[in-house]
Amino acid sequence: MTETLNPSETQNFEVAFEERYARVLINLERKIIICELLADYIPIEDFKETFTQIGTIIKSGDYQKFIFDKRSLRAFHQPTMEWYFIHWKKDMLEYGLKTHRKILPAEKWFEKMVQIAKQQILETYPDNIIDQLDIQYCDSIEAAINL
């Protein structure tokens, strides 16, 4: 598995769980949860299973910020993004999770795909919750923690 997180950035975090495709860290004091993807592609069922586990953690705590580190990805899958955006984020909003920080792969094509997909989702699901969320993109875990 790749080690992309800088230990100094996450020294006050503990590993909640780690599996083939993701490592999830938590900091109860700061109310932050981090999901670091560990593979270049994650099958949608595995993605859903991982995020269901993350949801269980969020529901059991008082987390206010979710940091999603996608730097390892080299493939973009629209149905996965739709499920994450429309269903998972909506479910987590009910538990008070409004702040989302994302770290994308460095490749510009990936960022462009995210923008296109996001626009399609907003058009397809006009009753979305995006106006209730604080979503920002960052270049590092440290920036995401502090923003």
Of 2, 1, 7, which is closest to residue 141 (Cα–Cα)? 7
Q: What is the pLDDT along the chain (147 residues), one digit of tens a residue?
A: 344 555 556 678 999 999 999 999 999 999 999 999 999 999 999 999 999 999 999 999 889 999 999 999 998 888 998 999 999 999 999 999 999 999 999 988 888 988 898 888 889 988 888 889 999 999 999 999 999
Cβ neighbours of residue 130 closer than 8 Å, sequence gap 6 or more: 122
* Residues contacting residue 79 through CB under 8 Å, at least 6 positions apart: 44
Q: Please tell me the CATH superfamily of domain 14-146, with its number.
A: STAS domain (3.30.750.24)
> Domain map of the chain by residue range?
14-146
